[in-house]
């Protein structure tokens, strides 16, 4: 956790200094963070093409903004924050209203469980999917979620409680109808 990505660079001279990070450093950051953030973006939007676009846009913004030096955890939270802001921009524009289908993956996955998951995710609001993903897939605490979403920790607690209750209720209702 002590690894520092040298992002700062007040007077850029060469191209590598212009972004505060050279290509090699960027590659190691990308390898460490791209997959979970792409999964987050796809999990929340339900669309792979959108997730790929937003992922690229997120790293572009990160490199262009030149944030100060951060450790790995801070950088990860900062990237999730940019990703969340990009998702919100799309929702404000009305680009992503509903959750799209996850493609099927043959016989390796329990189909009943898959149907339950799809139904529950489709019924959840984007912000609920966002909070549940960060809490349960990324394992973030309330303070970390607050940092990654721009919400206050107290609001995160309340919103997460509602989202959790709603998701559980949707799953229960789905299983009772089957």
Partner 1 sequence: MTRVNLANRRWCEREADVVRSLRAGSLPVELREHVLSCVVCAEARSAAEVMLQTASLLQVEDGVPAASLVWSRAQVRKREMDLKRATRPLIVMRVLSVVYVVLCAGWAVHSFWRPVAMELASGLNGWLNAFRSGTVGLGAAIALLAIAIGAWYLLYDGRRSDTGIRST
CA distances from 79 to 86, 104, 174 (A): 11, 29, 35
What is the DSSP code (8-state) at residue 124?
S
Pick from 55, 82, 146, 148 the residue near partner 1 by CB under 8 A: 55
Cβ nearer to partner 1, comparing 75 with 94: 75
# residues contacting partner 1 (CB under 8 A): 50
Return the range that interacts with partner 1 (CB under 8 A); candidates 59-67, 74-82, 85-93, 145-153.
59-67
With contact defined as beta carbons under 8 Å apart, do 137 and 39 qualify? yes
CB of 150 closer than 8 Å to CB of 161: no
Query: How far apart, in whole angstroms, are the C-alpha atoms of residue 55 and residue 51?
Result: 6
Paired residues of 70 in beta bridges: 5
Toward partner 1, which CB reaches closer, 1 or 64? 64
Q: Which residues would be at the binding site for partner 1 (CB under 8 A)?
A: 15, 18-19, 23, 26-27, 30-31, 34-35, 38-39, 42-43, 48, 52, 55-56, 59-60, 62-64, 102-103, 105, 108-109, 113-114, 116-117, 120-121, 132-133, 135-137, 139, 141, 157, 161, 163-165, 167-168, 171-172
């Amino acid at each position: 956790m002590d690894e520092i990505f040298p992002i700062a660079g007040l007077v850029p001279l060469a191209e590598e200094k212009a972004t505060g990070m050279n290509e090699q450093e960027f590659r190691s950051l990308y390898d460490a963070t791209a997959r979970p953030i792409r999964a987050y973006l796809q999990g929340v939007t339900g669309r792979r093409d959108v997730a790929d676009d937003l992922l690229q846009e997120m790293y572009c913004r990160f490199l262009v903004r030149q944030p100060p030096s951060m450790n790995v955890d801070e950088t990860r939270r900062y990237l999730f924050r940019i990703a969340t802001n990009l998702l919100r921009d799309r929702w404000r524009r009305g680009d992503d209203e509903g959750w799209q289908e996850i493609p099927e993956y043959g016989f390796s996955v329990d189909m009943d469980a898959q149907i339950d998951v799809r139904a529950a995710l489709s019924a959840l609001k984007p912000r609920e999917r966002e909070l549940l993903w960060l809490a349960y897939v990324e394992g973030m605490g309330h303070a970390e979620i607050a940092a990654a979403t721009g919400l206050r920790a107290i609001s995160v607690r309340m919103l997460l409680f509602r989202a959790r209750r709603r998701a559980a209720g949707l799953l229960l209702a789905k299983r009772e109808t089957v």
